[in-house]
A and B are shown apart, each in its own frame.
Chain A
Amino acid sequence: MSDDPFAAPRAAHGRAPDVFRPGGWIPMRQHRQDEPVDFVIVGTGAGGGTLACRLAEHGFSVVAMDAGPYFRPLEDFASDESEQTKLYWTDDRIVDGANPLQMGGNNSGKAVGGSTVHFAMVSLRFRPAWFKSRSLLGYGADWPLDWREMWHYYSEVEDALKIAGPVSYPWGPRRPRYPYRAHELNAAARALADGCEALGIKWTETPIATLSAPRGLAHPCVYRGFCTSGCATNAKQSALVTWIPRAIAAGAEIRDLAMVGRIETDNSAVATGVHYYRDGQWRFQRARNVVVAGYAIETPRLLLNSATGRFPDGLANGSGLVGKNLMVQSNQAVWGTMEREVRSYKGPPSLAITEHWNYEDKGKDFFGGYCYMSQGPLPQLWANTLMSARGLWGARLIEEMEKYNHVVGLKIVGEMLPQETNRVTLADETDQYGLRIPRITYAWCDNDRRLIDHSLAFMTQALEAVDATDLWRQNDDTCHLNGAARMGDDPFTSVVNADCRSWDVRNLWICDGSVFPTVGGVNPSLTIQAIACRTADRIKTMAGRGEL
């Protein structure tokens, strides 16, 4: 059998790749296609991978499909930005609107483990008030979830990933200490800390999903700095090396290189399974429940591509909101040069953080919040940033690149407001599977611009305070994907309820960042995983009551 993870499915013949041993295998239960499984899950990232694990551990039969390959990081991952673009979702997509999004490596993964295989591992809790931002803060929409319940699930996920973080966190209600000790600061993080102290605000070590001590067969982080190109040492606690091995051990089946193109529904508005392309042909997996966990582009795309005579506007779309209220996060930066060597390529890119402007509401002329973090761009990313954001090429680019080891930067993750006009629709063109491709339309609103301006002015002060020179602002970047299938209490204004269950198709569920009604000013992965853990528990409870 070929060892090329792109050539043929690896999870087959009763076994799946052992991510902890080069060339290794683990036994995997397999399910027949013509007998319904309890749950078929589309996507194996922060939402689907986590849910597959917890549902299997609750005793349900589970098949989880991913369009991407099943990697063994120790043997498949190079220390190389170009090579590792193989982790990204680079199928054809159209981007438009006043502020078209950058996709691919910026926010989309195509691999077992989803985007968590190349995420920057920043693992933050929402500010409690954000779950009721409409009622308490006057903007966005309320979530149907209670922050105290989420606090419980955040702790569950932090323990499952052995998050490395500070002993006490400076903002928000009390939380337990992080399971593993914080990582040491690199110089880029030290610059953030020094800037915060000069300006009189708090900072802390970033809670981060890479090991600071051994865990089973995985070693602590060696600070090689290729986190967003995939971790070749398994220190990163992605879904690929955490939830998915647990899921398989509990009896779940993973199907890699399996692109789901359509959810089948019958005349009584019940989902009966999914059509998927694998190993050269279209196949059909029967299921009692279907979970969509493809992230905020592929999830609405699949729902829209599954339209029927009964549901001409797509599945779960009685509200008309599938695809609408897509939210990214603002990801602007201020960059400068220091006299000292920074070498920010060493260590995870974001080792220090301040959430000051997530928790302080005085002095703002905008709704929402932002955090900012230290940065560590690798050379290709940095050179392209200088070209695309600063316009440099020719001798000026070459000269600027020679200062690489002295560059320091601060970058926000900022809250953008939900707008129905920011949305995913279907284009007429089709992809390699013959499926209509997504069109992604995005424009910033005035509030988004005010938040960005505030952050750029503040981070400029912070870099000036540490004597960085030649400061410049990167004005146009965004990150992460959320919304497009929001949860709520009302079937007319939401796609799913608090349990991620469709209002329209009762055995159809959505479990990924798509369900966020608002996005907050922190990276979303921890919240996606916490919601997945909660959803699994709720499904177990409902099943026990005969409510599935």
Chain B
Amino acid sequence: MPDSRPGTRFPGYDVLSKRQGPSWNDKTREVIARRLSTGSEPQFFAADEFLTVVAAANRIVPQPPTRSAIPVAALVDRKLHLAQSDGYRPPGTPRDGDAWRLGLKALDAETRAAFDAPFHILLEADQDVLLQRMQKGELRNPAWTEMTSDVFFRMRLARDIVLAYYAHPTAWSEIGWGGPASPRGYVRMGYDERDPWEAAEVRDGDIESARRKNNRVR
């Protein structure tokens, strides 16, 4: 069985090693380069809002300290700054950017009522309890107005954070996904069949064998 620690199933695999190869077309290179150069300063969120988003992202998609972190909150911020929207919402829930502002304000009201402190300085365990209660729709401070906390969790906070994390090549490498694949695509389609430009998973504890294969991915 593979090592159960995060990021150790596919040792040495880096989807970016294919960046200049036939699996990436020019448009993909352009799009991913822009994503990788996302600045760390928020353009949509105010400074205090951004601290909350950073803290929430750390709980929704916790990252190992052994590699450089994916700037999840900044990616969410950029999407909202560009007004990229899902385009559908329940009555009482505002459009995406306004829903974020309302939800963060309500979360702050909940946190100050329960802990007399902002969300981002709480213990992780306390942050998790608040997020769990939000997911279940149990947060009902008047600051939520007509938007329910479970809708905010599922359709905005957790959704946008999860989508931002799995839009990043580091996350793609972590799960052993082939990543961008145009024009080359794939050839070997059956069970346990791996193209040489796909991630190799550790088998029978042989980390070095997987690492050798992954180092040859281009």
Whether A190 pairs with B28 at a CB distance below 8 angstroms is: no
Whether B88 pairs with A345 at a CB distance below 8 angstroms is: no
Q: Which residues of B contact A453 (CB under 8 A)?
A: none
Whether B87 pairs with A232 at a CB distance below 8 angstroms is: no
Q: Counting CB contacts under 8 A, is A225 at the interface?
A: yes
If A78-B180, A394-B60 touch, whether A94 touches B91 (CB-CB below 8 Å) is yes
Q: State which residues 151-210 of B face A: CB under 8 Å.
A: 154, 158-159, 162-163, 165-167, 171-172, 174-187, 189-194, 198-199, 201
Interface window among B19-27, B102-110, B113-121: B19-27
CB of A321 to closest CB in B, whole Å: 24
CB of B142 to closest CB in A, whole Å: 22
CB of B183 to closest CB in A, whole Å: 6
Interface window among A59-67, A200-208, A288-296, A336-344: A336-344
Whether B27 pairs with A384 at a CB distance below 8 angstroms is: no
- The interface residues of chain A, by DSSP majority, are classed as loop
Whether B88 pairs with A93 at a CB distance below 8 angstroms is: yes
Q: Counting CB contacts under 8 A, is B85 at the interface?
A: yes
Q: State which residues 415-461 of A face B: CB under 8 Å.
A: 439-440
Whether A347 pairs with B189 at a CB distance below 8 angstroms is: yes
Q: Counting CB contacts under 8 A, is B62 at the interface?
A: yes
Q: Which residues of B contact A394 (CB under 8 A)?
A: 59-62, 128
Whether B25 pairs with A232 at a CB distance below 8 angstroms is: yes
Whether A342 pairs with B88 at a CB distance below 8 angstroms is: no
Most buried by A among B32, B90, B131, B181: B181
Whether B181 pairs with A397 at a CB distance below 8 angstroms is: no
Q: Counting CB contacts under 8 A, is A319 at the interface?
A: no
Give A89-123 as 1s and 0s: 1 = Cβ < 8 Å from B's Cβ atoms.
Answer: 11111111000111110001000000000000000
Q: Which residues of A contact B25 (CB under 8 A)?
A: 78-79, 232
If A379-B175, A402-B174 touch, whether A232 touches B162 (CB-CB below 8 Å) is no
If A100-B90, A103-B88 touch, whether A402 touches B28 (CB-CB below 8 Å) is no
Whether B90 pairs with A89 at a CB distance below 8 angstroms is: no
A221 to B176, CA, bound (A): 23
Q: Counting CB contacts under 8 A, is A405 at the interface?
A: yes
Inter-chain residue pair count (beta carbon < 8 A): 197
Whether A393 pairs with B162 at a CB distance below 8 angstroms is: yes
Q: Counting CB contacts under 8 A, is A395 at the interface?
A: yes
Q: Counting CB contacts under 8 A, is A80 at the interface?
A: yes
Q: State which residues 10-64 of B face A: CB under 8 Å.
A: 23-28, 30-32, 35, 59-62
Whether B186 pairs with A225 at a CB distance below 8 angstroms is: yes
If A232-B25, A404-B177 touch, whether A340 touches B191 (CB-CB below 8 Å) is yes
Whether A96 pairs with B180 at a CB distance below 8 angstroms is: no
Q: Counting CB contacts under 8 A, is B95 at the interface?
A: yes
Whether B165 pairs with A79 at a CB distance below 8 angstroms is: no
Name A341's contact: one of B61, B90, B158, B194 (CB within 8 Å).
Answer: B194
Name A104's contact: one of B88, B183, B186, B190 (CB within 8 Å).
Answer: B88
Q: Counting CB contacts under 8 A, is A159 at the interface?
A: no
Whether B182 pairs with A223 at a CB distance below 8 angstroms is: no
Q: Counting CB contacts under 8 A, is A388 at the interface?
A: yes
Q: Which residues of A contact B9 (CB under 8 A)?
A: 402
A387 to B88, CA, bound (A): 18
Name A82's contact: one of B167, B176, B185 (CB within 8 Å).
Answer: B167
Q: Which residues of B contact A345 (CB under 8 A)?
A: 177-178
Q: Counting CB contacts under 8 A, is A516 at the interface?
A: no
Q: State which residues 60-117 of B face A: CB under 8 Å.
A: 60-62, 84-91, 95
Whether A222 pairs with B184 at a CB distance below 8 angstroms is: yes
Most buried by B among A76, A221, A233, A398: A398
Q: Counting CB contacts under 8 A, is B215 at the interface?
A: no
A96 to B9, CA, bound (A): 42
Whether A405 pairs with B176 at a CB distance below 8 angstroms is: yes
Name A379's contact: one of B87, B177, B187 (CB within 8 Å).
Answer: B177
Q: Counting CB contacts under 8 A, is A539 at the interface?
A: no
Whether B86 pairs with A347 at a CB distance below 8 angstroms is: no
If A78-B180, A398-B62, A402-B6 touch, whether A187 touches B88 (CB-CB below 8 Å) is no
Whether B183 pairs with A232 at a CB distance below 8 angstroms is: yes
Q: Counting CB contacts under 8 A, is A544 at the interface?
A: no
Q: Which residues of A contact B62 (CB under 8 A)?
A: 394-395, 398
Q: Which residues of B contact A187 (CB under 8 A)?
A: 189-193
Whether A222 pairs with B28 at a CB distance below 8 angstroms is: no
Among residues of B, the one whose C-beta sits closest to the C-beta of A389 is: B154
Whether A379 pairs with B172 at a CB distance below 8 angstroms is: yes
Q: Counting CB contacts under 8 A, is A184 at the interface?
A: yes
CB of A400 to closest CB in B, whole Å: 10
A281 to B2, CA, bound (A): 60
A79 to B59, CA, bound (A): 29
If A78-B25, A223-B189, A394-B62 touch, whether A92 touches B85 (CB-CB below 8 Å) is yes
Give A494-520 as 1s and 0s: 1 = Cβ < 8 Å from B's Cβ atoms.
Answer: 000000000000000000000000000
Name A387's contact: one of B4, B91, B158 (CB within 8 Å).
Answer: B158
Q: Which residues of A contact B30 (CB under 8 A)?
A: 78
CB of A73 to closest CB in B, whole Å: 10
Most buried by B among A79, A90, A108: A79
If A80-B28, A398-B6 touch, whether A90 touches B87 (CB-CB below 8 Å) is yes
Whether B175 pairs with A341 at a CB distance below 8 angstroms is: no
Whether A102 pairs with B88 at a CB distance below 8 angstroms is: yes
Among residues of A, the one whose C-beta sits closest to the C-beta of B157 is: A393
Whether B85 pairs with A388 at a CB distance below 8 angstroms is: no
CB of A195 to closest CB in B, whole Å: 14
Q: State which residues 330-383 of A face B: CB under 8 Å.
A: 338, 340-343, 345-347, 378-380, 383
Q: Counting CB contacts under 8 A, is A490 at the interface?
A: no
Q: Which residues of B contact A223 (CB under 8 A)?
A: 185-187, 189
Whether A77 pairs with B27 at a CB distance below 8 angstroms is: yes
CB of A399 to closest CB in B, whole Å: 7
Q: Counting CB contacts under 8 A, is A88 at the interface?
A: yes
A223 to B87, CA, bound (A): 30
CB of B55 to closest CB in A, whole Å: 13
Q: Which residues of A contact B31 (CB under 8 A)?
A: 78, 80, 82-83
Name B180's contact: one of A79, A104, A221 (CB within 8 Å).
Answer: A79
Could you name 10 residue pairs across A and B whose Cβ atoms are closer than 8 Å?
Answer: A95-B88, A222-B181, A222-B183, A232-B183, A346-B178, A379-B177, A388-B154, A393-B60, A405-B177, A439-B91
Interface residues of A (CB under 8 A from B): 75-83, 85, 88-96, 100-104, 108, 184-187, 190, 221-226, 232-233, 338, 340-343, 345-347, 378-380, 383-384, 387-388, 391, 393-395, 397-399, 401-402, 404-405, 439-440
The 4 lowest CB-CB distance pairs between A and B, nearest first, are A222-B185, A90-B87, A79-B180, A224-B181
Question: Other than the known A75-B27, A104-B87, A402-B9, what 18 A-B pairs have Cβ atoms closer than 8 Å?
Answer: A77-B27, A80-B31, A184-B189, A186-B190, A224-B182, A224-B185, A225-B185, A225-B186, A340-B192, A380-B163, A384-B159, A393-B59, A393-B61, A394-B128, A399-B4, A402-B174, A405-B199, A439-B91
